[in-house]
């Protein structure tokens, strides 16, 4: 990782945490539905980044959110799980271009980008909300929150991705 690149990742890490805590957590849409933007950091990791490094970064990312939100280790766990299954999700979505190391998420086709972001967010939200509710009797509430939050998060994440892409070009 080049010095320039490292700086970019540090800034990205700090900005997703601060944006999550100070902007998106304050939104109150449709009775406590929140868009989660910090998985964007894991989505934007280089496709073939060092896996152990990615896992540790993802855990620290989630833990930072946990510290601000007083949620124990829920965000850390959810963020760790999506970092671990990232190669499988990338392979499932992008197939050969991932396997031959030519993939760049920013330049991918929009539809594939959306489906990739959707799968990452869905996995993240399933883990996060099941740890959050922690009670099988609340499954209806869990499903409601899962569906609403996933749709909102995917929308917001894709919008930010598209904006970032314009900036890079």
Partner 1 sequence: MQQILNFLIKYKVFLVFLLLLVSGLRLTFYAHTYQNTNFVNSTNFISANIYSMQASVSEYFNLKSQNEVLHQENKFLREQLLNLEGLNQLDTTKPKITQDLNLNDSLYTIIPAEVVSNSYNNPDNYLLLNKGTNDGIENELAIFSSLGIIGITEYTSANFSRVISILNRNISINAKLKKSNHFGTLTWDAVSVEVAKLKDVPRSAPVAIGDTIITGGKSFIFPEELPIGTIQDFELIQGYFEIEVRLFNDMTNLGKVYILKRNNKTEAISTLNKNDNESE
Q: Is 10 in the site for partner 1 (CB under 8 A)?
A: no
d(CA 105, CA 83): 15
* 29 backbone dihedrals φ, ψ, rounded to 5°: -105, 135
Q: Can you tell me the distance from the alpha carbon of 39 to that of 31, in angstroms, rounded to the nearest whole number?
A: 22
In the complex, least distance from residue 91 CB atom to partner 1, rounded to whole angstroms: 15
Q: Does 59 bind partner 1 (CB under 8 A)?
A: yes
Binding of residue 131 to partner 1 (CB under 8 A): yes
| CB-based contact 124:36 (threshold 8 Å) | yes
Two structure tokens written together for 111: 């539809």
Structural contact between residues 160 and 37, judged by C-beta atoms closer than 8 angstroms: yes
Least Å distance, CB 128 to partner 1, is 10
Among 2, 3, 4, 70, binds partner 1 (CB under 8 A): 70
The residues pairing with 33 across neighbouring beta strands, listed in sequence order, are: 29
Which of the residues 110 through 129 are near partner 1 (CB under 8 A)?
none
The only residue of 12, 19, 49, 63 in contact with partner 1, by rule CB under 8 A = 63
Site residues (CB under 8 A) for partner 1?
A: 22, 25, 28, 31-34, 51-52, 55-56, 59, 62-63, 66-74, 76-77, 80-81, 84, 131-135, 138, 141
């Amino acid at each position: 990782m080049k010095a320039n690149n490292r700086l970019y990742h540090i800034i990205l890490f700090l900005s997703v945490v601060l944006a999550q805590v100070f902007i998106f957590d304050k939104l109150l849409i449709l009775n406590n539905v929140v868009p989660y933007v910090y998985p964007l950091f894991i989505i934007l990791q280089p496709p073939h980044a060092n896996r152990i490094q990615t896992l540790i970064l993802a855990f620290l990312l989630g833990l930072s959110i946990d510290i601000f939100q007083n949620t124990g280790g829920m965000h850390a766990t959810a963020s760790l799980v999506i970092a671990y299954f990232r190669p499988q999700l990338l392979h499932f979505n992008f197939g050969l271009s991932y396997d031959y190391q030519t993939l760049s998420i920013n330049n991918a086709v929009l539809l594939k980008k959306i489906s990739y972001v959707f799968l990452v967010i869905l996995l993240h939200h399933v883990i996060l909300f099941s740890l959050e509710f922690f009670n099988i009797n609340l499954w209806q509430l869990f499903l409601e929150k899962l569906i609403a939050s996933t749709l909102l998060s995917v929308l917001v994440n894709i919008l930010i991705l598209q904006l970032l892409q314009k900036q890079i070009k």
